[in-house]
C-alpha cells in the first residue's frame, strides 16, 4: 500500500456521549490507491449533535464510493472534484434541514475532509476542526471558522456557507492529520510533528494518537477527541505491490 493510516475516537473523560464522527476509506482503482478521510464534529450546543455528525460522515462515505472515487481516476480530478464536494455538502444540508422540518430537531455539524491520490490532495473544510500537514514542519492548513465564540460555517443549523478548499502535495514520508478541536486545542505547537516524525506502521500511529489524547486530557480538555492520520509512503512499483499482496 502507498499509505500508512490510523484513527482515534474518544468521548473524553467528561462527556456522556461522543458527538464526533469520522470516516477513513482506502480503495484500489486501476492499480492506484485512493484515500478519503473526514472528521465531523456535532455542534454541542444543539440537540442530537452525534446524529448530525454521523449523518454527514455516512453520506460522505457513500458519496466517495459512488462518485468521488470515479472522478479521481481522471488526470485533473481536483479541478472537477470541488463541484462534486459542493453538491455533496448541499445534499447533506438538505437532509439536516428536512430533519429540522419533519422531526423538529435543529442540529448541525462541522466537516473537514480530504481526498488523496499519489500524494496529491484536495481538502474541504467547514467549521473549527483542523487539518495539518506533518513532515518537514507542522503546518495547519485550515482556518478556524469561529468568530467571537460563534461558529460561522457548518452544515445544518444555521444554513450552509461556502466551504474552504485547498490543494496540496505530500512528499514521501509526509502526512495529513485531520482532527476535531477537542483533540488539538491544548496541543503545543510542534507536538504533532515530533510524535509522527519516526512513526512506522498503523499500530504505532494509533499509539501516538492515543498518547496525544491522553496528554490533552491531562491538560483539562473536556471535549470529544477524534483524529484521522494518513502518511504517504510514495508510489510503489508493480513488484512492490505484488510483494505486499503476498504478505497479506
The per-residue pLDDT for 103 is 80
Question: What pLDDT does residue 141 have?
Answer: 95
pLDDT in tens, 208-223: 999 999 999 999 998 9
Band (pLDDT 50/70/90 cuts) for residue 239 is very low
- The answer to whether 134 and 174 are in contact (CB under 8 A) is yes
The answer, yes or no, to whether residue 81 has pLDDT greater than 90, is: yes
Q: Is 80 a residue whose pLDDT tops 80?
A: yes
Q: Provide mean pLDDT across the span 193-207.
A: 89
> What is the chain's mean pLDDT, rounded?
88
Cβ-based neighbours of 203, under 8 Å, separated by 6 or more: 6
User: 47-82 burial by CB neighbour count: b if 16+ within 10 A, else e?
Assistant: ebbbbbbbbbbebbbebbeeebbebbeeeebbeebe
Lookup result for grid cell 492515543? 210
CA dist., res. 231 & res. 157, Å (int): 34
Confidence bin at 38 (pLDDT 50/70/90): very high
With a cut of 60, say whether residue 236 has pLDDT above it: no
Distance (Å, whole) CA 24 – CA 7: 8
Strand partners, 102: none
Name the pLDDT band for 203 (thresholds 50, 70, 90): very high
pLDDT of residue 151: 76
Interatomic CA distance for residues 116 and 239, integer angstroms: 23
pLDDT of residue 13: 74
Query: Each residue of 53-67: pLDDT tens digit?
Result: 999 999 999 999 999
Q: How confident is the model at residue 1 (pLDDT cuts 50, 70, 90)?
A: low
Extract the C-alpha cell encoding 60. Answer: 460522505
Q: For 93-144, write each residue's pLDDT tens digit.
A: 999 998 888 888 788 899 999 999 999 999 999 999 999 999 878 999 998 8
Q: What is the pLDDT of residue 242?
A: 45
**What pLDDT is attached to residue 57?**
97
Q: Provide the strand spans (E) within the chain.
A: 3-10, 20-29, 32-41, 108-109, 111-117, 120-126, 130-134, 139-140, 146-147, 150-151, 155-156, 164-169, 175-179, 225-232
Whether 212 contacts 183, CB under 8 Å: yes
237 pLDDT higher than 50: no
Over residues 140-185, the pLDDT tens digits come to 999 888 777 677 788 987 777 889 999 999 999 999 999 999 999 9
Amino acid at each position: 500500500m502507498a499509505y500508512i493510516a490510523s484513527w482515534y475516537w474518544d468521548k473524553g473523560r467528561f462527556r456522556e456521549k461522543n458527538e464526533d464522527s469520522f470516516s477513513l476509506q482506502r480503495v484500489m482503482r486501476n492499480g492506484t490507491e485512493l484515500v478519503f478521510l473526514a472528521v465531523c464534529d456535532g455542534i454541542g450546543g444543539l440537540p442530537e449533535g452525534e446524529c448530525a455528525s454521523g449523518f454527514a460522515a455516512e453520506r460522505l462515505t457513500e458519496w466517495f464510493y459512488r462518485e468521488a472515487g470515479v472522478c479521481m481516476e481522471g488526470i485533473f480530478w481536483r479541478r472537477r472534484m470541488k463541484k462534486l464536494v459542493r453538491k455533496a455538502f448541499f445534499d447533506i444540508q438538505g437532509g439536516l434541514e428536512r430533519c429540522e422540518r419533519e422531526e423538529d430537531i435543529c442540529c448541525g455539524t462541522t466537516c473537514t475532509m480530504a481526498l488523496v491520490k499519489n500524494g496529491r490532495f484536495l481538502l474541504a473544510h467547514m467549521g473549527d476542526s483542523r487539518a495539518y500537514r506533518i513532515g518537514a514542519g507542522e503546518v495547519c492548513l485550515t482556518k478556524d471558522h469561529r468568530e467571537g465564540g460563534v461558529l460561522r460555517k457548518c452544515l445544518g443549523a444555521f444554513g450552509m456557507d461556502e466551504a474552504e478548499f485547498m490543494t496540496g502535495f505530500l512528499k514521501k514520508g509526509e502526512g495529513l492529520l485531520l482532527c476535531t478541536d477537542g483533540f488539538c486545542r491544548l496541543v503545543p505547537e510542534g507536538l504533532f510533528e515530533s510524535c509522527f516524525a519516526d512513526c512506522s506502521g498503523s499500530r504505532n500511529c494509533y499509539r501516538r494518537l492515543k498518547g496525544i489524547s491522553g496528554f490533552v486530557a491531562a491538560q483539562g480538555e473536556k471535549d470529544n477527541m477524534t483524529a484521522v492520520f494518513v502518511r504517504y509512503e510514495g508510489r510503489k512499483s508493480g513488484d512492490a505491490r505484488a510483494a505486499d499482496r503476498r504478505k497479506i
